[in-house]
């Protein structure tokens, strides 16, 4: 028994299990030390995109986004795309992390395409809305780490519905809401919402009664107004002739408004003041 106890005891009172682990023995003796793990200083720098808007007008839905991308206080790029065509009748506009947003848009495109080809029909409106919500919920782990936040807008024209023009806005956790008339997101969102509310409630023509030219003019004014208060919003670059991306959804599909048409409408609106 004494010999067994002696075999079980090693340096410093360790058991034979500890003694067999040579690294543990060296660690106890102070010969091997644990490496120091340094905490990451500050958040991971991300390229961010703002500002986006969508509203219903007489001929369908207008979706727009400014062109600026920022990283902190640095302007990374002034010709970015923030409005993506997901399928023939759906558009997603992004605000937040570009990396996560682009991946979300691509995944959504593939999901809709796979469903259409496998089921030989379009995904339902409820299915589209929930598909985007699920992608945002799946990204929640990154959001909790302070990176990869995406706060999109989703617009679609559902021909089968009595009210075909649809606009949905989301939060970072995937909660979604059906906008009655308009929605905006991004750092310039509050200024855009204020502008659209004023035009809808007090302007000469409510948003839903605007023709296409009137709707485009209001969108340009809203983004240009947001750019005055928010440095992350590009607005309208008069010197560089850079205008927002604007897409129109109606029963004919999706149309991207040409830049020369945007320039002419903006100049006309400026001269009318």
* Residues forming the active site: 50
Contacts with 79 (C-beta within 8 Å, 6 or more apart), sequence order: 67, 242
Write down the H helix ranges in 75-123. Answer: 98-119
Q: Are 247 and 259 in contact (CB under 8 A)?
A: no
Q: Which of 128, 121, 126, 81 is nearest to 107 (CA)?
A: 128
**CA angle at residue 234 from 196 to 270, to 5 degrees?**
60
Is there a cis peptide before residue 51, judged by omega within 30 degrees of 0?
yes
Look-up: residue for tokens 């909660």? 175
């Amino acid at each position: 028994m004494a010999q067994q106890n002696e075999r079980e005891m090693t340096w410093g009172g360790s058991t034979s299990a500890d003694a067999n682990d040579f690294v543990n023995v060296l660690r106890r003796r102070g010969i091997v030390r644990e490496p120091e793990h340094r905490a990451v200083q500050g958040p991971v720098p991300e390229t961010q995109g703002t500002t986006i808007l969508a509203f219903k007008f007489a001929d369908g839905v207008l979706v727009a986004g400014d062109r600026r991308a920022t990283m902190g206080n640095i302007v990374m790029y002034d010709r970015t795309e923030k409005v993506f065509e997901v399928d023939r009748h759906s558009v997603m506009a992004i605000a937040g992390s570009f990396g996560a947003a682009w991946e979300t848009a691509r995944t959504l495109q593939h999901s809709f395409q796979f469903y259409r080809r496998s089921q030989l029909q379009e995904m339902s409106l409820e299915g589209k809305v929930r598909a985007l919500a699920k992608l945002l919920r799946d990204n929640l782990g990154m959001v909790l780490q302070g990176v990869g936040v995406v706060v999109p807008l989703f617009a679609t024209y559902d021909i089968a519905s009595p009210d075909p023009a649809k606009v949905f806005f989301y939060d970072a956790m995937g909660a979604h809401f059906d906008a009655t008339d308009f929605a905006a997101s991004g750092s310039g969102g509050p200024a855009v919402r204020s502008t659209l509310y004023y035009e809808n409630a007090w302007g000469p023509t409510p948003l839903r009664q605007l023709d296409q030219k009137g709707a485009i003019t209001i969108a340009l004014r809203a983004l240009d107004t947001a750019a005055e208060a928010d440095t992350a919003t590009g607005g309208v670059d008069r010197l560089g002739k850079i205008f927002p991306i604007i897409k129109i959804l109606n029963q004919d599909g999706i149309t991207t408004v040409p830049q020369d048409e945007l320039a002419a409408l903006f100049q006309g609106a400026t001269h009318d003041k």
